[in-house]
Amino acid sequence: MTEPISHPPAPPAAPIGRAPCDDATAPEAGGDHDALPLGPAGLATEITAQLSTQLSRVRLHGFRRSPRPGPAAGDTAPTLVAVAHGSRDPRALPTIHALLDRVRALRPGLRVRLGHIELNRPLLADTLEELRGAAVLVPLLFGHGHHVTHDLPAALEAAPHLDGRVAAPLGPHPLLAEALHGRLLEAGFPQAPTRHRTAVVLASAGSRAARSAADTARIGRLLSARLGGIPVLPAYASAAAPTVPEAVRLLTARGHDRIAVAACFTAPGRFATQCAAHAPGIAAAPLGDHPALARLVLHRYDQARHRTPWWTGAGAAANCCPSPEQRDQACHRATLARAGSDPDGTRAATVAV
């Protein structure tokens, strides 16, 4: 079975900013309803104070700054634990460290730690053992595969001393499409490609989970929109079809003779190298420390922090990931209310960090 080619209508000529889909919005500040009636001067002072309170929560592009609550009032922000898969490729670990350095630069003072599922140290279990208080696990993965839906909740179950939750994976999201697009351009992909001849294979690791395949398909649609409607066909290094060589053959049979491979991988590794080797032309590098990916890591962290209540112990594993229906419905409502545009058609998102 093969994935359908993503081929939406071309987006507007200029990028359209879109507010991120956050899980919670703090209540507006209110006045003192027990105060005595104010005279003209006092009323003016009160209005000024109220406007100052409201304007302090407004950012450029019309986005409101929401408080970033921790698990309890007065607590420091929970630790961001970035969860990488791990790789024997010696380039992988330095690449992940570079990404986390960029995350720290975007959010000075935030405690950022790294844990690996396998193959590299520190292992996730060791990182969690050393922590105290609250933690948000942000998977440096791109879909709801087995690691996200089972391994990470199980890791929290095994760390009952922590108040924790698991953030959503990095995909799908317009910031991910922005990072993929950036790496394609760096590899030589044309700024104005010929639509009827050019196509892109979106290479990813692959999973047997249907939800993960759906995530990859949505990433493909977002990347296609970012590329101005260029067809994007998902392909996989393992566990799913088509493979990259099969996707290349499918696109060639449909008349595309300028085929690039986009690498939906955080860092270099066996799968990324294997997929790039099958590229008939341009092969983009893994996403690494692309600025859009660092912003997306923080966005997922903030989304997880805003979810209420703050579960602990068994509750963390049971409730760490909202269902796709809940997430998509909330995102759809917020997007329509704020921007009035199609979530898959936007070119990029601006996320407060």
Tokens representing residue 100 in the block: 């986390």
Which residue pairs from 253-257 have beta carbons closer than 8 angstroms and sit at least 24 positions apart in sequence?
254/5, 254/199, 255/196, 255/197, 256/196, 256/197, 256/198, 256/199, 256/231, 257/197
Query: CB under 8 Å to 134, separation ≥6 — which residues?
Result: 70, 71, 75, 78, 79, 162, 163, 164, 310
Cis peptide, bond prior to residue 231, ω within 30 of zero: no
Buried b (16+ CB within 10 A) or exposed e, 184-210: beebebeeebeeeebbbbbbbbbbebe
- Least confident residue range of 279-283, 323-327, 337-341: 337-341
Note the pTM of the prediction, 2 decimals: 0.70
Is 131's pLDDT higher than 50?
yes
Confidence at 99, pLDDT banded by 50, 70, 90:
very high
**Which H or E element spans position 185?**
helix 174-186
pLDDT at residue 127 tops 70: yes
Instruction: Tell me the C-alpha distance between 136 and 115, whole Å.
Output: 12
Tens of pLDDT along 261-317? 999 999 999 999 999 999 999 999 999 999 999 999 999 999 999 875 544 444 444
Which pLDDT value is given to residue 47?
52
